[in-house]
Amino acid sequence: MKEILLRPVQLGDIRLANRIIMAPMTRDRAGPGDVPTDLMIEYYAQRASAGLIVTEGVQPSPAGKGYWRTPGIHSAAQVEGWRKVADAVHARGGRIVMQLMHCGRVVVPANRGYEADVIAPSAIACPVPVPGPDGTPVPCAEPRAIDAAEIPALIAEYAQAARNAIAAGMDGVELHCASGYLINQFLNPASNRRVDDYGGSAENRIRFPIAVLRGLADAIGAGRVGVRISPGNPYNGMDPADPAATFVPFLKAASALGLAYCHVVDMGLAEFDTLAMVRTHFAGPVIANNNLKPDTAAGLLADGRAEAVSFGRAFIANPDLVERIAASAPLAKPDYSLLYTGEERGYIDYPAITAGEPA
C-alpha cells in the first residue's frame, strides 16, 4: 500500500519524485536581518528526499513578522540566504516552495527587532497570547485597520515576495491562508468587521485573499502558486463556525486561477468532510495534512481523496522520512522542548538511518 506514496506526481509546473511532502514549520532560527543561516541550509538539505519541501512561514514584508527569529524574503541578503537553501535542496534532487506568511495582527512587536506597523482587516487584537523573545507568551499588539487605499500596495508586496522567492531559486510559493494569519483574518468574520468591499459577505471577505493569489499568479505563473487552508480551525481567535460558507466561494475562485495545488489542514470536523469539500470545489491537485500516519496517508491517496500528503512533526525527527516509510522502518520522536530553541540541537542532529535498520 505504501508504494502509492512513492509514486511521482505533478503539482502545476512542479514535478515531485514522490507524494510525501514536508509541511511548513516555523523553527525560529533565522539570523540577523531575518536571513537564513547555514544551519537552516543544512536542515532543509537533510530533508531533500521529500517529494516537496514547503518552507517555514516567511514574511513578505517587515510588517508581516510576528514571531521571534522568523526569516523574510524582502531584502537582498534574505534572497541570497534562501538561494543557498534552494541550491542545497536541488543539489540533492529535491523540490522546495516558500510559504508566504504575513502575520497581520498576530504580532509581538519585541519579536521584530525593528519598528513596523501592526495591521489587520479590523482594529481587533488577537485574543491569544504569543511567545515573546524569551518564549513566554505575552499579549499581541493592538492592530490598526488597513485602509482600502493601502490594499494594492499590500498585494504588490506579496507579488514582489514571490518574484524574490523565484529569484532565490525556489520552485514556487505557497500562500498561507490558514491558522489565523493575515489572509485568514480577512476570511473570518471574528477578525474582519469591515463595512467596505473587503468585509461583510463571504464574497467580500474572500476579495483580498483572491486578489493576493491572482497577484502571485500574475507575478510567477499560477502553476507555481499553491494555497494552504485550514477550514474550521479556531487558532489565533478565528471563529470556527460554518467554514463552508466562506471556503466554498473561496475554493471556487481559487480554482478558477489554475493554481498548482490546494494544501488542506483537515481539522477532522464533525459537521462535514473537508477533503470532500475541497475536491468538489477546487479543480487542481490536493495535498492532505494533519495527524497522518503512513498507512492513513496511503489510504487517502488510494481512495483518490488527495494527490499528495504532507507530514509536519514526523519530518522534525526523521530527516529521511521517505526512506523510512519505504523501508517500513520505525519513526523517531521529536524533542518538543527544542522546537523553537536549541540552535543545532533538536534541529539538524536527528540522524538518518540506513534503510531497514531500527531507529
Ligand X SMILES: Cc1cc2nc3c(=O)[nH]c(=O)nc-3n(C[C@H](O)[C@H](O)[C@H](O)COP(=O)(O)O)c2cc1C
**Looking at the annotation, which residues are catalytic?**
181
Q: Is the dihedral of CA 7, 9, 15, 19 positive or negative?
A: negative
Alpha helices in the chain (DSSP H): 38-46, 76-91, 151-167, 182-187, 202-205, 207-220, 243-256, 274-281, 294-302, 313-317, 321-326
Decide if residue 69 touches ligand X (CB under 6 A).
Answer: no
Q: Least CB distance from residue 339 to ligand X, whole Å?
A: 5
Q: Which is nearer to ligand X, 209 or 312 (CB)?
A: 312
Give residues 153-192 in contact with ligand X (rule: CB under 6 A): 176, 178-179
Decide if residue 291 touches ligand X (CB under 6 A).
Answer: yes
CA nearest to 264, candidates 234, 226, 302, 299: 226
Which amino acid would we find at residue 312?
Answer: G
Among 16, 21, 34, 56, binds ligand X (CB under 6 A): 56
Q: Which is nearer to ligand X, 29 or 194 (CB)?
A: 29
Q: Least CB distance from residue 239 to ligand X, whole Å?
A: 19
Decide if residue 229 touches ligand X (CB under 6 A).
Answer: no
Decide if residue 228 touches ligand X (CB under 6 A).
Answer: yes
Q: Which is nearer to ligand X, 132 or 200 (CB)?
A: 132
Residue 247 to residue 297: CA distance in whole angstroms? 23
In Å, what is the CA distance from 329 to each residue of 322, 326, 334, 358?
A: 10, 8, 16, 6
User: How many residues bind ligand X, per CB under 6 A?
Assistant: 22
Decide if residue 289 touches ligand X (CB under 6 A).
Answer: yes
Stated length of the chain: 359
Grid cell listed for 6: 512513492
CA nearest to 269, candidates 277, 260, 261, 281: 277
Decide if residue 275 touches ligand X (CB under 6 A).
Answer: no
Q: Least CB distance from residue 28 to ligand X, whole Å?
A: 9
Q: Which residues contact 340 (CB under 8 A, 6 or more apart)?
A: 26, 27, 28, 68, 131, 135
Q: Which residues contact 83 (CB under 8 A, 6 or more apart)?
A: 167, 168, 169
Q: Which is nearer to ligand X, 200 or 234 (CB)?
A: 234
Give residues 333-352 in contact with ligand X (rule: CB under 6 A): 339
Interface with ligand X by CB under 6 A: which range of 21-29, 33-41, 202-210, 273-281?
21-29
> Residue numbers of the site for ligand X (CB under 6 A)?
23-26, 56-57, 99, 101, 176, 178-179, 228, 265, 289-292, 311-314, 339
